[in-house]
Structure 1
Amino acid sequence: MRDHSIPAVLFNEDSKAPHRECRICQKNLMDGELYAIQKVFKNYPDQEAQALFDFALCKNCMEQARAELSKESRQRIDQFMMEGLENLEASGEEAFDRWEQHRCTLSGTYLQESSEFQMMAVCQGETLVDSPVCLSAEMLEAIQELLSPESREELNRFSENNFGWPPELKKALVDGDIVLL
């Protein structure tokens, strides 16, 4: 039987403990509602992947952020993800297997072979609701291509308004190296 506790790799980088509040509204995430964690990593030669940033959003803030994307962008991303998950299912593998093997959920690429990668998980309290999703740089680039110009502008505005990120991370968002899902 699989352990559905939130793994330490998804803990808050600052506290080294599970995320406790929404990055935007500061709502308590341990109140039983669903929330999402996103974490971006960069691989450097001859060392462990380094977390560039991480955050958690309550269900309400997550839905508001997603609603700001154009309908066209949301549909394209949803279709891309559904097709990838259907291909995974057809392969006979499971998302949890790829998670445990440190592989991209959609492509199967080993995460240490990707320049960057992103992890996302839907949680409730200190429990995973489903398998975390890992996306390699290749898959993130493919998703970035699905965004309309308006959605890209909205993601930039969203990050500018809600995150006090250093200039290099802001540049990564603008350049499309990082995608907030």
Structure 2
Amino acid sequence: MDLPALQLGHEFEPIPKELHSMATGQPFDTCLTCQCHLLQDGVGYLVEKAVRVYPDAGVQDVIFEYAMCLTCAQQLREELSVESRQRIEAFFRERVDLVARREALLSLPDPLRLDNWLAHCLVTGTPRSACTEYQICAQCDGGDLLYTYMPYFLSAQAMDQMQELISPHTRQILDDFMDTHFGLPPELRALLQDRLVFL
């Protein structure tokens, strides 16, 4: 998406625990794709987590999670069909003013509070507390979380809407990505088949 470039002054903080790897309890330290080290200043990367909530049991589970350097993320994005990328960008343009959202969040008394940025689905506005499934997307640099146009979360409803925009070619690229990096059993793969949305 064509968004104004950001010059960050103080809009970052050490990566909060919610964005740490569930496997290690620590910040992600390597890129899922190229294995480069992420925790050095100046190394930009994305973190994505898919979460399922079980309200009756009062627990939640991370279905999948990963960190990917910006170089690998851009390479993956370029593999997606032009048509899919254009449709997804238009989808966001029509539903979200990312510049206004960021300005509003940074004007709050506690602007660098992750819970504020993840309080409502970026697309539908649904409160996170009302979602049983969602994905968190964040941008980091070294050991810091950056408050750019991210972090945000997408509800299952938003992801379902986005799946309708994706071409068969793009769906295959994303399915192959899941198979390569997560090696999921068939029943879980079927559950997640329409959940990976790479922005």
Q: TM-score range by the shorter chain?
A: 0.7 to 0.9
- 1:68 and 2:79 aligned: yes
In the TM superposition, residue 98 of structure 1 has moved relative to its aligned partner by 8.5
Bigger drift between 95-104 and 137-146 goes to 95-104
Which residue identity is paired with 2:69? Answer: C
In the TM superposition, residue 150 of structure 1 has moved relative to its aligned partner by 1.2
- 1:126 and 2:143 aligned: yes
- 1:24 and 2:33 aligned: yes
Which residue identity is paired with 1:132? Answer: P
- Indicate conservation of the 8 Å contact 2:55/2:132, yes or no: no
- Indicate conservation of the 8 Å contact 1:35/1:123, yes or no: yes
- Indicate conservation of the 8 Å contact 2:12/2:144, yes or no: no
> What is the number of residues matched between the two proteins?
179
- Indicate conservation of the 8 Å contact 1:99/1:134, yes or no: no
Consecutive unaligned residues of structure 2, counting only runs of 5 or more, are 1-9
In the TM superposition, residue 43 of structure 1 has moved relative to its aligned partner by 1.4
- Indicate conservation of the 8 Å contact 2:77/2:198, yes or no: no
- Superposed structure 1 runs of 4+ greater than 6 Å apart: 95-98
Classify 1:94/1:146 alpha carbon distance in 2 versus 1 (closer, same or farther; 3 Å): farther
Q: SS of the counterpart of 2:13? A: coil
Q: Within 2, Cα distance between the matches of 1:163 and 1:87?
A: 31
- 1:107 and 2:115 aligned: no
Q: Deviations over 1:133-180 (max 9, x none)?
A: 100111111111110111111111122123223333321232x14434
Q: SS of the counterpart of 1:128? A: strand
Q: SS of the counterpart of 2:64? A: strand
- Tell me the TM-score normalized by structure 2: 0.79
- Indicate conservation of the 8 Å contact 2:174/2:196, yes or no: no
In the TM superposition, residue 88 of structure 1 has moved relative to its aligned partner by 8.2
Q: Within 2, Cα distance between the matches of 1:166 and 1:22?
A: 23
Match of 1:141 among 135, 148, 160: 160
In the TM superposition, residue 66 of structure 1 has moved relative to its aligned partner by 0.9
Classify 1:110/1:119 alpha carbon distance in 2 versus 1 (closer, same or farther; 3 Å): same
Classify 1:71/1:135 alpha carbon distance in 2 versus 1 (closer, same or farther; 3 Å): same
- 1:77 and 2:69 aligned: no
Q: Within 2, Cα distance between the matches of 1:23 and 1:148?
A: 24
- Tell me the TM-score normalized by structure 1: 0.86
Match of 1:43 among 48, 53, 62: 53
Which residue identity is paired with 2:152? Answer: V
TM-align CA RMSD: 2.5
